[in-house]
Homo-oligomer: A and B are copies of this chain.
């Protein structure tokens, strides 16, 4: 079975979307308000992989129970180095029910916010159309 990391490494966003629970909640590094549901979460992830350059995971921390994962990544955005982490919480069926992202440092987070905002109306339109 393909892992989440393997799917992202392969930029196989269909496989990533298939791992999301229908009621997954996405917590953005930028916005306070959570984004509920598979459609909007998948749309955000498809956009993020376009915004980041040279995205790669550098550290994985897995909880003994196997339900909580922290995947630390490095990438570039607007030419700035960015470090971040995908916090994934899985349910008993192996679906991702909670997806939280944090990034650092601040200037790179602000660059990410600018790049995502530029694409945000499109994300919302796609999410509305697909679900």
A87 touches B (CB below 8 Å): yes
What B residues does A101 contact at CB under 8 A? 104
The answer, yes or no, to whether A42 is at the interface (CB within 8 Å) is: no
A interface, by DSSP: helix, strand, loop or mixed?
Answer: strand
How far in angstroms is the closest Cβ of chain B from A106?
5
Instruction: Evaluate contact between A106 and B29: CB separation under 8 angstroms.
Output: yes
Q: How large is the interface on A (under 10, 10 to 19, 20 to 34, 35 or more residues)?
A: 20 to 34
Q: Chain B contacts of A107 at CB under 8 A?
A: 32
**Alpha-carbon separation in the docked complex, A59 to B70 (Å):** 11
Bound Cα distance A87, B83 (Å): 12
- Please tell me if A51 contacts chain B, counting CB pairs below 8 Å: no
Chain B residues with CB below 8 A from A30, complex form: 104-106
Bound CA span A37–B69, Å: 29
Q: Is the CB of B64 within 8 A of A68?
A: no
Question: In whole angstroms, how far apart are the Cα atoms of A68 and B104 in the complex?
Answer: 18
CB-CB nearest 5 A-B residue pairs: A102-B102, A70-B70, A32-B105, A61-B63, A30-B106
